[in-house]
Each structure stands twice: as C-alpha cells, then as structure tokens.
Homo-oligomer: A and B are copies of this chain.
Amino acid sequence: MRYTLGCHLAYKVRSETLFIFNLEVAQLQRHRDLKESLRLGPDLPVRRYVTPDVANRYAAVLVPPGTFSLDYEAEVTLAVHRADPAGIGETAVKDLPLDILPFLLPSRFVSSDRLAPFALAEFADAPKGFERVNRICNWIHDHIAYVRGASDGETTADETLLKRAGVCRDFAHLGTAFCRALGIPARFVSCYAYGLVPCDFHAVFEAYLDGRWWLFDATRQANLDGLVRIGVGRDAAEIAFATPYGEMEPTGMEIRIDRTDGADEAGARTTDAISTEEPAPHAGAA
C-alpha cells in the first residue's frame, strides 16, 4: 500500500542551535519507491549521517537565531512481510546473531535489569515465541493507562510500571524491557502510523523472533501493517525526532499520513504478524 506522509515543525530559535532530526522515512528494501523532499526555512545546509549498524538517518542543521521551520514530505509503498503468528517461535539466545545481542542489554529508559523479577514472574510460563510477546502487549494494554502528560523525558520503564500510566513512548519502553528481561532481543521503533488518531509521531517496538524483527504496539492505537518506520534504537534517547542543542522553543508541529491508493478507514486491524525489515546475513551468525 502506498502512503503519503510528512511533518511540519516550527521553532523560535533564541541562540544558535544545532538540531539533529530523525524524521525521514527509513531506507528499507520494503519501503519501495520512496520519494521525499525536505525543505527548511530559511534554507540552511544539512549534514547527514546514517548509522552503520541499523541505518538510522540523521540530518543535522545549524540554525541561527530567528524563526525556523522544517517541512518533510514523502511518498512510499509499504510492502510488509506477513506471517501467521502461530508459527513464530523464539530464537534461543545461543542461536542469536551476535550483532543482535546488544538489544538484550538494559538502556537508559529500558531498565530491563530492574524489571527482570517482574517479567519472569509474569511471563516466564507463557508459550514461547510470538505468543509470549503478544501476552506482554496484552498485559501492558490492560494494566497501563494511556494518559497524556503522565510521563516526561526521563521516565523509565520501571517507573511506568509503578505509575500504571504513560504514552506510546512509555508503552514501547515497557514492552521492550519485558522482552529483554526474558532473553528476547527488542528495540524501540519510531514511525508514522496510519490510522493513529490524532496523528502524531508514534512509538512501537520490535522483538526478534525466529530470525527476524516483528512489530508490536502495546497501545493498540495503530495498524501494524500501516507503520512506516523512521528509526530503531535501544530506546527513545537514540531516535528522538528532534534533538536540539541550543536555546529554542517549539512553536508548531503537524504530522500526517494518508493512503494514496484508496482509503480503507474502516479496515479491520490485521491479526497477522508484521515485519518490515528483511533479515540480513549477520556477522557472527551461528
């Protein structure tokens, strides 16, 4: 399915500010025919950096004091990989490709070490594989309330568990933490989400099962087969849509995503397992 999407960001910049943006659509094999444009006002030079491990796309812009705006537009055909969840088992830690192993480690907001006793107590006996991660999402959906303003930029997964409230960022951190605590590699994903109301940058997570990364959304607010990936990372710190170094304040923000090949607003949520990244030949694979 083909999507048109984009965002408009505006800032009032008080002192020269370096912005690191991570909001362009990821260049994946299953993101086909990607057409995109990035316009800045004023028109400033952009430095670019793509990470060697997971191919996140960063754009750095040094902005002088004054008003500043960014407009990103893209069109992309999302060709997801679908599978029957029932057939997806876990990959034993011993069989994981070595470049996947860092996604078992705790990170700033994914305190999987602190949450290990909780995760083991709740999910150790669940059927292994897709079903176990699905139960994790169900548990989060049933036990954590989606409350705007319930968290801030320093909120960790263990705090969310206690507060029982958060936003998509927190749901994704908690799901990621439970997975890692159980020996399932997991990573934080930022994306444009078709069907999300109101539209916004969305955060979900991926778990590595049976040799590839599968998408999960514990908020259940968007269609898994309508998620257009921006970046993946250990947690939200790595892939904020904008990381500013300087004095500024946001003055406007709009995000949009639409179907270009016929709407299906009423379309039911998929029950398939969805993946958008093709397994690569891994370094150090078994």
Contacts and interface: CB of A to CB of B under 8 A. Distances in A.
Oligomer copy total: 4
Interface in A39-53: 47-53
Nearest to A102: B238
Interface in A234-264: 234, 237-238, 243, 245
- Chain A interface size band reads 35 or more
Contact of A62 (B49, B94, B121): B94
B58 A98 contact: yes
B165 A117 contact: yes
B48 A114 contact: no
A238 B47 CA distance: 28
A164 B47 contact: no
A143 B105 CA distance: 25
Contacts of A183: 245
A47 B98 contact: yes
A220 interface: no
A36 interface: no
24 contacts: A16-B94, A18-B94, A20-B101, A47-B284, A47-B286, A48-B284, A49-B283, A49-B284, A51-B53, A62-B94, A94-B245, A102-B238, A105-B237, A106-B108, A107-B107, A107-B237, A108-B108, A108-B110, A108-B111, A108-B113, A113-B154, A114-B162, A117-B163, A161-B162
A153 interface: yes
A60 interface: yes
Interface string A79-116: 00000000000000110001101100111101101110
A49 to B, nearest CB: 4
B93 A245 contact: yes
A98 B284 contact: no
